[in-house]
Amino acid sequence: MRELKKLSPYIFLFVTTGLAALYTLLNESGSDSFNNEKLSVGIADTTAITSVSFKVNDQVTNLQKKANGKWLVNSKYDAREKLISLLFFGLNKIEVKKTCCR
């Protein structure tokens, strides 16, 4: 019984700290850096995109949308619709998993 009385302040401190940590983790109105609206970077309306450029090692590849809805690669070749829809699906689903410091 004496051991329990000696440990009771530590048990109280442990439980209080645990509850404070749980409250901090579950509190949605906490820090702005974890606000889901600010972390959303996905493009909701991909139909508004008219051109996309990729640059790899000083080589630029452009995708342009024609009036009929088809896409051209470097203004010469028709782009595959399956790959364009896959690209826009990926752009729509982008999300930040963890922020980093600057």
**80 vs 23: which has the higher pLDDT:** 80
**Which range has the worst mean pLDDT, 14-18, 26-30, 45-49?**
26-30
What is the pLDDT averaged over residues 31-35?
Answer: 52
Amino acid 20: pLDDT: 86
Q: Which helix (H) or strand (E) holds 53?
A: strand 51-56
**3 vs 55: which has the higher pLDDT:** 55
Amino acid 37: pLDDT: 54
Amino acid 72: pLDDT: 92
Quick check: 39 and 96 in contact, CB under 8 A?
Answer: yes
Whole-Å CA distances, 80 to 7, 29, 74, 91: 69, 44, 13, 17
What is the pLDDT averaged over residues 6-17?
Answer: 83
Amino acid 36: pLDDT: 53
